[in-house]
Structure formats: C-alpha cells, structure tokens
Structure 1
Amino acid sequence: MAVSAIRTDGPMVLPRAFSLLRLLAEEPSGLNLSAIAAHLDAPKSSLSATLKALTEQGFLIRTGSLYTLGPESYALASTILAGRSIRQIARPHLEQAVEASGETVLLAVLDADQRHFTYIDLVESPKSVRYSVAVGTRRPLYATSCGRLFLAYQSDAWRQKYFSDVDMKPVTEKTVTGVAALEDLLAKIQDEGLSVTLGDFSPDVAGFSSPIFNSEGEMIAALAVAMPVSRGIQQQDKFRETAIQSAQSLSRTFGYKEKPETG
C-alpha cells in the first residue's frame, strides 16, 4: 500500500503522532479524544487533525468515539521486528543489564531437540573474576537456571514427555533430579518469573534467569545474569531485580503486554 505524507501544521505534530501511537499500543480497548488529550497534555483541536490523518492512512481505526491501532501500525511493527534478529533487539538490554549488575548477562534460546538450550549472545562482566562461556554453548534444561525457565513455561504434557525421555543425572551435589521436587521448583519459577541456581550445574557459578515473551505471550528466550556463586549468594536481591526487570523490558520490546493482577 502506498502511503502519502501526513499533512502537519507545526514541528510538534510528528512527535505527538508517535506519542499517540505509543499510548494506544498500551490501551488495546481504545481511547476517545478527551482521554487522549488528557494523557498527552495536548489541545483537542490539534489532536483532532492528527487523529484524522492517522485514521485516513490506516494507522488508526475509529469505532464510534474510540480510537485503536489500525492495520498499518501492526504492519509497520512487524516489518521492523522482522528486519532485526532477536540478538540485535536484545543486545542493548543485555548491555544495560551488565551496567546494572556488574555481572555477565546472557541470552538463551531453546534448542530444536527440546532437551537443551543454547547461549546465542552475551555481554561479559568487566570484573577480572567473572562468569565466562562461549556463544553457542549448550546446556541441559533440568540443571540450569535458563533451562528450568524453558521447562516451567511448557505444557504439563510437554514436561511429562521430557521427564520420561531424559536421564536427569546429578551434575553437582546441588542438582535437583527428582521429578516431584523439580515440578515444585518449576511451579515456584512460574509464580515468581525467576529461576535461580546456586551451584546446581557448576559448583562455582550462580545464575538468575527470567523469561522473555513475545506479543502472543509465548516464551521465546531467557535472559540470565551469571556470576561466581559467592557474589550470587551475597547480592541475591540485586541480581533477582536485574534479571526480572531486564527481561520484562525486553518482553515489552517484543510487544508483550503484562496481564493485570487480580484479587
């Protein structure tokens, strides 16, 4: 579809249009003119012209008094994401997480065999004593912080097949290998959105991992903050917060909308 230029009346129109689209992306049920004006602290008169232009171009849909995102907005978002790999999109978030934690931060995806995951990118800690591993390294699911995330966010049937197919041998004295104990651990991981290992796979390494979701609510990757186990034990709260917040920020980049809390 050929898109003609949107007519503007001043230098604030384009930034306002972007702010408007971002606002409506966070309000899938739509907003009316008054609500949009209140959120953006903008006059209704100039907003009306912007809304009209965006609607004519297909970036918005008007239903009664409500405006929602239109097909051109979704097409633009899909084109942008399709042109960038998950590594490219995640890289700035990994770098920010290293700055926040001071530790190595890694990006992992589930392997095709669905028995392992692979580190596809990482940013190393600037510290002389740090966790270090090569991109492309594979790890088993049951004994690692990233791996347990991938297990936790699968269906019950998927997990039962995994447990029946995989010989979960202890890697260290802290490795959880019993199915019942692991199921309890996976339930906790789902509840907290965080997976922690303190010497479970390597006796000297701690890992704090959180899931990354796409716009469909599917887990597509894991973000891990890893360090020597002594620092992991001493600063657990800091690393928990870094892993969760970094993964949530990256999930939002992929279009994930967190479900509102109920109760």
Structure 2
Amino acid sequence: MRPIINEIKWGDRRSRFSRLFLPVDYDYRSDIGYGLRSPPGTDRRSEIWTDMATRTEKRESEADTQAFIPPRSPLRVMKLLEELAGEPRGLPAVRLLERMDLPKTSLVSLLRALEEARYVVKHKGLYQLGEAALRLSSLISVSFPFPHSVHDLLMDLMTRCNETAMLATLSEDGQAAVYVDKVECQRAIRFAGFIGARRPLYCTAIGKALLAFQDEAFIKHYLKYNKFEPFGPDTITDRGKLEREIEKIRKEGVSVAIEEMAEGIGVYASPVFDGLGTVRAAVSVAAPAQRARAMSEEYSQEVKSIARQMSLLLGWKPNGDTPDE
C-alpha cells in the first residue's frame, strides 16, 4: 500500500505547486490538495523547501532594489496648483500646457476635476486658484505659522556650524532688523542675541541682507535719509562704499559683517524669500570674530543653504532672479 502524504500544499496553490514539484513523486488527494512524497532513500523535501526559500529571497531582494516610481496623477495635481499659486492673476491653458509638459487631454481632465472640486476656477479665459485651494492654504498657514515653520531649519544651521543662529525681519518703520527667533550653541564663548532686539540695517550682516533685497526705491530712500554712525572698528559709514556692498550682497547672496556692529563679533547672513519673491526675513550665523574669519567659506555656504531651504518652505520658487539661480 502506498503511503498517503508526507507534506501538504493546499488546493488554492495547485498550479504553482505542480510547476515547482513535478520532478518529485507525489500523491493527490482531492479533499486536501497536493501531497508530496519523498522517493526512497532520499530527502528531496528539504532540498525543495531550501530551493523555494532561495527563490523567494531572490525575488524579494530584486523588488527591494527597484526604484520606487510614484503615481504621476497626484504629482501633476500638486504641480498644477503650484503653477497657479505663483501667478495670482491666473494662467491661460496654453501657458499651463507649456509649463506642465502634458498632453492636452490630460491637462483638460485635471482642470475639469479641480474645477468641480473648486480648487481651480476659470475667469475670463484664465485659470486661478479656487476657494478650496485658498482654504487649504489658510489651514496650512495656521498650522505652520512663521517663524515657527522654519525653526527646525534654524536649529539645523546651529548644529551644522556649532554657532548661534538668528532669524530677523524688517521692522515696521523699515529702519532696523528685529530678531524673531534664535538658537544658541553651547560653546563657552559664543554670540548671544535677544529676540525682539533691534539692529541697524547698514552695519549688521542680517540687516544688510534685508536691505540689499528691498526694491530700488526703498534702498535709495534709506541711503539718502539715514546717517551712518560707527558702531565697531569696521563699520561702513561711507554711502558710496555701502552701495557697493549692497551690490555685492545681491550678486553673491550672502552678507558679511565682521566687527562692524561690535568688536570681536563676526556674522554671515542670507535673505529668506516668500512665495511672491519678496524678502520675508534674513537668517544668520554669528561667532567670535576669530572663528568667523577662519570659517568664512563654510559659514557662507551653510547660511546660504539654510536660507534657500527656508525660502522653499515659504513657497518661494526659483526663477533665476535671485543669487545662485
């Protein structure tokens, strides 16, 4: 009498089981599926299960190494909304086609779906953000208010440089930089700033970064009606020299002030832009003058990198008009 079965493979996997184990002698029971029987004097079962495990591991390994390809539709929707957010007056369909690089039928389908959900509206032939998109924008702004929304990046700057990092905005009267956030390093000798403190625009790195990227009328008015008194050994008090300094900052994207505001202090700063391309703030890294001079290249690159990340977080879109673009 033939033995019944030594191993079980249930009926819902019959076809796969048959392909894998045809070389091996097996019995069949319709009530339980396929059963495997080892030939006399061999232990083929262990070899087969080892082979199965090897094949499975290989397939899983190949799947893990394949690059993840995200679905395109959600990304297209977000890109379309970003394009419209950058053009408050709206865009015609032909411009969207150029920027999105999509087939016309795909773009029409996206716009139709977004119009029905009120994320997009069409007015006089121009597509604009609708009330649903504006409501979403408002919710995001409330959830991540400035400057809280960029605090983690300020912390990152402090960690990278191991120096105090500061964030400032232009004062309401347009005459000073006002510190709105800071992260101090733990070094024994370090720069210590105070949130709410005002600093002159013309003799601080963070102030010059704010000043340099204002509009031309603002800069001309500031240079014409302000007196430039010395605060530190290297304060710029000459109007012509300050104009050249502003042009240099606009070109390089980084402002430097070593012993301009006070003796023994060196600071590097860069502007932070918002979604409209206007300067929203400036971020800086401050250190004792000796360290600031020795680490000039590193601090300049780090502060520019963090300023760029902050700008992107605030909705800024690179367009070639700002430094390093």
TM-score by length of 2: 0.63
1:230 to 290, 298, 304: 290
> Is 2:239 the counterpart of 1:179?
yes
Q: Trace 1:27-46 onto structure 2 (pairs within 5 A).
A: 29-30=95-96
Q: Which residue type is aligned with residue 245 of structure 2? A: L
Distance 2:278 2:110 in 1: 34
TM-score by length of 1: 0.77
Equivalent pairs counted in the alignment come to 237
Q: Which residue type is aligned with residue 187 of structure 1? A: E
Which structure is larger by alpha-carbon Rg, 1 or 2?
2
Q: Which residue type is aligned with residue 269 of structure 2? A: S
Structure 1 residue 170, shift from structure 2 partner:
1.0
Q: Trace 1:73-88 onto structure 2 (pairs within 5 A).
A: 73-88=133-148
Q: For residue 307 of structure 2, what is the aligned residue in structure 1?
A: 247
52-61 or 97-106, which deviates more:
52-61
Which structure 2 segments of 5+ residues have no match?
1-69, 85-94
> Is 2:164 the counterpart of 1:104?
yes
> Is 2:188 the counterpart of 1:128?
yes
Distance 2:119 2:174 in 1: 39
Distance 2:228 2:258 in 1: 18
Distance 1:70 1:155 in 2: 27
What's the secondary structure of 2:136's corresponding residue? helix
- Contact persistence 2:77–2:110 (CA under 8 A): no
Q: Residues 186 and 261 of structure 1: is their aligned pair in 2 closer, same or farther, counting only changes over 3 Å?
A: closer
Structure 1 residue 74, shift from structure 2 partner:
4.2
Distance 1:26 1:206 in 2: 38
Q: For residue 274 of structure 2, what is the aligned residue in structure 1?
A: 214
State the structure with bigger RCO (CA 8 A, min sep 6), 1 or 2: 1
Runs of 4+ displaced beyond 4 Å = 14-18, 25-29, 34-37, 48-55
Q: For residue 114 of structure 1, what is the aligned residue in structure 2?
A: 174
Q: Which residue type is aligned with residue 213 of structure 1? A: F
Q: Which residue type is aligned with residue 160 of structure 1? A: K
2:265 to 174, 196, 205: 205
Q: For residue 166 of structure 1, what is the aligned residue in structure 2?
A: 226
Offset from partner CA, 1:124-173 (integer Å, 9 cap, x none): 11322211111111111110011112221223332232233322111112
Q: For residue 4 of structure 1, what is the aligned residue in structure 2?
A: none
- Contact persistence 1:20–1:36 (CA under 8 A): no
Offset from partner CA, 1:72-109 (integer Å, 9 cap, x none): 33441233114543121121111111122221111101
Q: For residue 149 of structure 1, what is the aligned residue in structure 2?
A: 209
1:139 to 199, 208, 214: 199
Distance 2:211 2:182 in 1: 22
Q: Residues 163 and 258 of structure 1: is their aligned pair in 2 closer, same or farther, counting only changes over 3 Å?
A: same
Q: Residues 168 and 49 of structure 1: is their aligned pair in 2 closer, same or farther, counting only changes over 3 Å?
A: closer
Distance 2:237 2:273 in 1: 27
Distance 1:244 1:74 in 2: 30
Distance 1:246 1:216 in 2: 19
1:189 to 249, 252, 255: 249
Distance 1:50 1:163 in 2: 50
Distance 1:118 1:185 in 2: 21
Q: Residues 245 and 203 of structure 1: is their aligned pair in 2 closer, same or farther, counting only changes over 3 Å?
A: same
Structure 1 residue 53, shift from structure 2 partner:
5.1
Offset from partner CA, 1:158-190 (integer Å, 9 cap, x none): 223223332211111211111100000001111
> Is 2:117 the counterpart of 1:57?
yes
Q: Residues 164 and 50 of structure 1: is their aligned pair in 2 closer, same or farther, counting only changes over 3 Å?
A: closer
Q: Residues 115 and 27 of structure 1: is their aligned pair in 2 closer, same or farther, counting only changes over 3 Å?
A: closer
- Contact persistence 1:208–1:224 (CA under 8 A): yes
Structure 1 residue 231, shift from structure 2 partner:
1.4
- Contact persistence 2:81–2:129 (CA under 8 A): no
What's the secondary structure of 1:86's corresponding residue? coil
